[in-house]
């Protein structure tokens, strides 16, 4: 079959939706699906995202519905909602996303849930030397995507800091934990916008290319990810596919992912309030005690259990099934 992707993407992208779509395109092509970025008469359906402009004509449109950050404009959410409602089929990243993003966009929670995936073969890399230490990985896009300036295309506005990722809380946890556990090092991947701590056991890695990041993901003893209102974070998927255990919180898409892989879900997140998420950039606090205790359980883990349910091969099979189903319906 032949599928039109409504915007060019690359597996080398470093950011959320585009990063996964690039991997998906690579996986679809490996599975024998013809993927094109320009529509022609041979395309049987299109695959798109809510923030992409319409480009497909005369063929069924399948929408992969992403969430949106807190504090975003209602105008954008209304636009996303219209595009989702106008799609012939909707794919959500998690049950959590279907239940809550549908409320943000004011659309019916219909369609299928297909979790993001990754290729386990890409994690067959040389691990980093442990040097007698145990390592905890903190990894996310701590800032929203930068925007190009209209007058000078070479310059960019800095994206907004994303407090919902709870980097500040995790750095506080790291500071206290390493004082009591000097054999533990926290790796912080991604642009933080902060000065590196004086604590030598908290190491800022900066923005890493995908192949560099994989070495840290496979080398870490565990990953700590306590973000608020997470749909289906790629960094969690990647660590689970690498076999690294993940500590996360309940009431999020991360909870669903960890239950498919290896790690622990801490039931300390309060009830999710969609209206609070829509309006506020002040994140609810969580108790640190249970997180310290979970780190005690996982920080010296040396076992790897790759999450087969999140292998890209399985994700691609589910996408192909939907693509064929919607294409056949249109005949």
Concatenate the DSSP letters of all residues of 257-302 into one string. HHHHSSEEEETT-----HHHHHH---PPP--SHHHHHHHHHHTT--
Looking at residue 146, its pLDDT comes to: 66
Q: Which residues of the chain have pLDDT under 70?
A: 11-16, 67-72, 146-158, 331
Mean pLDDT of the chain: 91
Strand, helix or coil for residue 90: strand
Residues 6+ apart with CB under 8 A from 127: 215, 218, 219
Q: Where are the beta strands (DSSP E) in 56-192?
A: 61-65, 89-92, 112-113, 134-139, 147-148, 156-157, 184-189
178-215 tens-digit pLDDT: 999 999 999 999 999 999 999 999 999 999 999 999 99
- Give the closest residue to 159 by CA, choosing from 116, 192, 126: 192
What are the backbone angles phi and psi of residue 107, rounded to the nearest 5°? -125, 160
Question: pLDDT tens, 214-233?
Answer: 999 999 999 999 999 999 99
For the purposes of burial, counting CB atoms within 10 Å of the CB of 62, is it exposed (0-12), middle (13-18) or buried (19 or more)? buried
Give the pairing type, strands 202-206 and 184-189. Answer: parallel
Q: What angle do CA 166, 172, 173 make, to 5 degrees?
A: 90
The full set of domain ranges for the chain reads 2-117+311-329, 120-308
DSSP 207-248: S--HHHHHHHHHH-SEEE---SS-S--HHHHHHHHHT--EEE
Q: What is the pTM of this model?
A: 0.94
CATH number of 120-308: 3.40.50.2000
pLDDT given for residue 12 in this prediction: 65
The whole-number pLDDT of residue 11 equals 65
DSSP character at residue 190: B
Are 2-117+311-329 and 120-308 in the same CATH fold?
A: yes
CATH code of the domain occupying 2-117+311-329: 3.40.50.2000
Q: For residue 7, what pLDDT is reported?
A: 92
């Amino acid at each position: 079959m032949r599928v039109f992707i409504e915007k060019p993407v690359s597996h080398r992208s470093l950011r959320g939706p585009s990063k996964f779509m690039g991997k998906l395109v690579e996986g679809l092509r490996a599975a024998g699906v013809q993927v094109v970025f320009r529509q022609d008469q041979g395309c049987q359906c299109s695959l798109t995202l809510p923030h992409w402009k319409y480009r497909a004509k005369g063929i069924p449109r399948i929408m992969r519905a992403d969430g949106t950050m807190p504090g975003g404009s209602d105008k954008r959410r209304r636009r996303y909602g219209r595009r989702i409602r106008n799609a012939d089929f909707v794919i959500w990243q998690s049950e959590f996303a279907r239940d809550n993003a549908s409320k943000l966009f004011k659309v019916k929670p219909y369609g299928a849930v297909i979790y993001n995936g990754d290729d386990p073969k890409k994690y067959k890399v040389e691990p980093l030397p442990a040097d007698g230490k145990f390592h905890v990985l903190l990894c996310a896009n701590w800032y929203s995507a930068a925007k190009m300036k209209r007058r000078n295309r070479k310059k960019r506005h800095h994206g907004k800091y994303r407090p919902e990722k709870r980097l500040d809380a995790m750095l506080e946890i790291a500071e206290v934990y390493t004082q009591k556990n000097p054999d533990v090092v926290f790796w912080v991947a991604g642009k933080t916008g902060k000065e590196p701590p004086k604590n030598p056991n908290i190491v800022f890695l900066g923005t890493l290319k995908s192949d560099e990041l994989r070495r840290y993901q496979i080398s870490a003893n565990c990953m700590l990810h306590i973000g608020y209102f997470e749909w289906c974070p790629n960094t969690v998927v990647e660590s689970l596919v690498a076999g690294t255990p993940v500590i996360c919180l309940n009431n999020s898409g991360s909870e669903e992912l960890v239950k498919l892989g290896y790690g622990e879900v801490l039931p300390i997140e309060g009830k999710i309030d969609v209206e609070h998420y829509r309006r506020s950039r002040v994140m609810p606090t969580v108790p640190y005690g249970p997180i310290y205790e979970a780190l005690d359980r996982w920080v010296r883990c040396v076992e790897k259990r790759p999450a087969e349910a999140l292998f890209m091969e399985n994700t691609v099979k589910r996408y192909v099934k939907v693509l064929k189903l919607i294409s056949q319906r249109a005949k």
